[in-house]
Chain A
Amino acid sequence: MNHSGAEFLMLRSKTNTMRWRRPALSESSFRKILSIAGVFVLLLLVAIFFSLVIASFPSIRNFGVRFLFSSTWDPVKSEFGAFPFLLGTLATSFLALVISVVFSIPISIFLGEYSAQGSTATFIKSMIELLAGVPSVIYGFCGLFLLAPLVRMLEMKLGVAPYGVGIFTASLVLSIMIIPYSASIGREVISLVPSDLKEAALSLGATRFEVIRKVILPYAGSGIVAGILLSLGRALGETMAVTMVIGNSNFIPKGVFSPANTLASVIANEFTEATGSLYLASLIELGLVLFIVTTIINLIGKLIIRRMGVEG
């Protein structure tokens, strides 16, 4: 009886084998394929970095470190310096950051603490997250046609040149675009504050405001900062919306209402027509600088978030 049972099992397994149409990959070769995919991604990033470096080489060799501090961008004389664009990028990004923080921190507090569940919360959360989904060119379009005339009226009232476009307008548009990034991270870290800490404070007689101020914010502080860093990274690299409303001037901006250019917008404007390989290499070097700066900021932000244990 046992004998036929074993035979039966073997027969069964044989038919099972025969039903498979082709032999399966062995585990090690499949794992190899997987790691090739991983290595591919690695190589991709390395290739991107090196392509940028190699293509900017004529410019690096010609200008050296001077490139970052020179404020002349003169294609006629082949003199290129990145300073006006570094300034433009930093000015718009930081101004946008300041404006957006005014909104994103209250949003994080609202969604993380006051109203964490319920349909109002979901509605507001979705609305804010949809802001991140609107394409950049549409932000630029709306900024150009809706915001710029308003800014122009403001400038005429203030007696400043009524450009309508410039650093101020670009920062406004940018700030709206980056709100969702810091708001959602901020919300997450605030909601992760352990409730026993909050309850302890409440039971000691603190008002909700005081709990937020003295318990939640200090605890979630670094997470909120990380979220802000991420939205900064986003702002630094933003191209289309900024290009459409920044006024396109290659000079050091004189004030917050002046036209300017950012690293990204000057590349967008002048890339297809850079006559002369030094010109093109200088533009690519700007791209390299942008790449390095955004990568560093993004990685710092992600590192902090990971330390706090939040799934970014």
Chain B
Amino acid sequence: MKEPSIRRRILYDKLFKIIVVLITFCSILPMFFILFFITSKGISVISWRFLTQLPKPVGEIGGGILNAIIGTLMLVGIGMAFSVPVGILAGIFLSEGRKGKLASLTRLCVETLQGVPSIVIGIIAYIWLVVSMGSFSALSGGVALGLMMLPVIITATEQTLKLIPGSLKEASLALGVSYSRTILKVILPAGMSGIVTGILLSIARVAGETAPLLFTAFGSPFMNFNVLKPINSLPLMIFNYATSPYPEWHTLAWGASFILIILVLGLNLFTKIVTKRWKVQF
């Protein structure tokens, strides 16, 4: 068999490296394009009026996204109220009972839950909350978001707590501190930065979600603080405006996208920096 010459092999090597580097750098381009377009089309729309007004009826110029911003905050808040306590407790459970049968089963469920498509979560929230309550509501939308936040928070808590050296727990127990206090007042605070990072990541994940809100939160042109009524949110508004034929609504959608992407990417970047700085790992 003829062995390819050294020169040919070195050529292939160099060629390969060039191709790999080229493709890698090309793959950053979409991110740049997205950011560039949203910023260029969106930033001209941002004004104090835009951020503090309610949307106007079809065909009238102006209007703002205030109710969408408040709606997003409220929905995320409701989601947190439900997912943070349960998530942290479940995360502690998983990190404490590592080998147990229940723990492995639970871990499996968490991983499965993480992969459930957001539209299926929407269907579930509709069946559980909208049909039983007889109306669309912020609550059902918030619960849907909470279901999506739960696995992220559980995993983050479990991983963070796993990294805490066992000697800390042992020292506390040896000093006579009860088990529950050890966990809640010694271990948990030690892992707090990792857990908070997990919570921030889960917020970033759900703040941009639309599918689970389509038939739960329903949307609204008004301002709403009532948990039992329908509510608007940034991604819902973007979806409705983007698929309409009105150019004024398109411009509003670009503006709203700009706000949303700053919020979500900002959270992501923040958690990245925090993870590096505080050497949190999970």
A41-B154 contact, Cβ under 8 Å, with A133-B268, A208-B13, A237-B117: yes
Which A17-51 residues have a C-beta within 8 angstroms of B?
A: 24-27, 30-31, 33-35, 37-42, 44-45, 48, 51
Q: Are B31 and A272 in contact (CB under 8 A)?
A: no
**Residues in B whose Cβ lies below 8 Å from that of A138:** 34, 38, 208, 238, 257, 260-261
Pick the interface stretch among A66-74, A218-226, A290-298.
Answer: A290-298
Among A106, A237, A295, A299, the residue within 8 A (CB) of B24 is A106
A264-B119 contact, Cβ under 8 Å, with A209-B13, A244-B242: yes
**Residues in A whose Cβ lies below 8 Å from that of B181:** 24
Q: How far is the CB of A74 from chain B (nearest CB, A)?
A: 22
Q: How far is the CB of A211 from chain B (nearest CB, A)?
A: 9
Residue of B nearest to A173 (CB): B30
A239-B117 contact, Cβ under 8 Å, with A107-B27, A110-B24: yes
Q: Is A140 an interface residue (CB 8 A)?
A: yes
Q: Are A141 and B208 in contact (CB under 8 A)?
A: no
Q: Are B238 and A239 in contact (CB under 8 A)?
A: no
A45-B268 contact, Cβ under 8 Å, with A103-B27, A268-B211: no
Among B9, B103, B118, B120, the residue within 8 A (CB) of A210 is B9
State the CA gap A287–B111 with chains docked (Å).
Answer: 19
A290-B117 contact, Cβ under 8 Å, with A35-B93, A135-B261, A137-B210: yes
Q: Are B112 and A146 in contact (CB under 8 A)?
A: no
Among B19, B31, B33, the residue within 8 A (CB) of A146 is B33
A136-B209 contact, Cβ under 8 Å, with A39-B102, A52-B124, A271-B123: yes
Q: Is A114 an interface residue (CB 8 A)?
A: yes
Q: Is A82 an interface residue (CB 8 A)?
A: no
Among A55, A146, A302, the residue within 8 A (CB) of B111 is A302
**Residues in A whose Cβ lies below 8 Å from that of B96:** 31, 34
Binary per-residue interface labels of chain A (99-120) against chain B in the complex, 1 for a CB within 8 Å, 0 otherwise: 0001110110111001000000
State the CA gap A37–B85 with chains docked (Å).
Answer: 9
Q: Are B109 and A44 in contact (CB under 8 A)?
A: yes
Residue of A nearest to B10 (CB): A207
Q: How far is the CB of A149 from chain B (nearest CB, A)?
A: 12
A135-B207 contact, Cβ under 8 Å, with A114-B17, A128-B27, A141-B253: yes
State the CA gap A129–B28 with chains docked (Å).
Answer: 10
Q: Is B54 an interface residue (CB 8 A)?
A: no
Residue of A nearest to B136 (CB): A272
Q: Are A146 and B37 in contact (CB under 8 A)?
A: yes
Binary per-residue interface labels of chain B (247-270) against chain A in the complex, 1 for a CB within 8 Å, 0 otherwise: 000100100010011001100110
Q: Are B208 and A135 in contact (CB under 8 A)?
A: yes
Binary per-residue interface labels of chain A (137-171) against chain B in the complex, 1 for a CB within 8 Å, 0 otherwise: 11111101110000000000000000000000000
Among A127, A294, A302, the residue within 8 A (CB) of B116 is A294
A42-B242 contact, Cβ under 8 Å, with A136-B208, A238-B117, A272-B215: no
Among A142, A209, A244, the residue within 8 A (CB) of B243 is A244
A126-B209 contact, Cβ under 8 Å, with A106-B20, A237-B119, A294-B116: no
Q: Are A268 and B214 in contact (CB under 8 A)?
A: yes
Q: Are B90 and A38 in contact (CB under 8 A)?
A: yes
Q: How far is the CB of B160 from chain A (nearest CB, A)?
A: 12
Residue of A nearest to B96 (CB): A34
Q: Are A134 and B115 in contact (CB under 8 A)?
A: no
Q: Is A240 an interface residue (CB 8 A)?
A: yes
Q: Is B183 an interface residue (CB 8 A)?
A: yes
20 intermolecular pairs with C-beta atoms under 8 Å apart = A24-B178, A26-B179, A38-B93, A41-B150, A41-B154, A52-B124, A106-B20, A111-B24, A114-B17, A129-B268, A130-B268, A131-B31, A140-B239, A176-B30, A208-B13, A208-B16, A209-B9, A233-B115, A240-B239, A291-B120
List residues of A whose CB falls within 8 A of some B CB: 24-27, 30-31, 33-35, 37-42, 44-45, 48, 51-52, 55, 102-104, 106-107, 109-111, 114, 124, 126-131, 133-142, 144-146, 176, 179, 207-210, 212, 233, 236-240, 244, 264, 267-268, 271-272, 284, 287, 290-291, 294-295, 298-299, 302, 311
* Given A38-B103, A52-B123, 17 more pairs with CB closer than 8 A: A31-B179, A35-B93, A37-B89, A39-B106, A41-B150, A42-B109, A48-B113, A48-B116, A106-B19, A130-B265, A131-B30, A137-B239, A138-B38, A141-B238, A208-B13, A271-B123, A290-B117
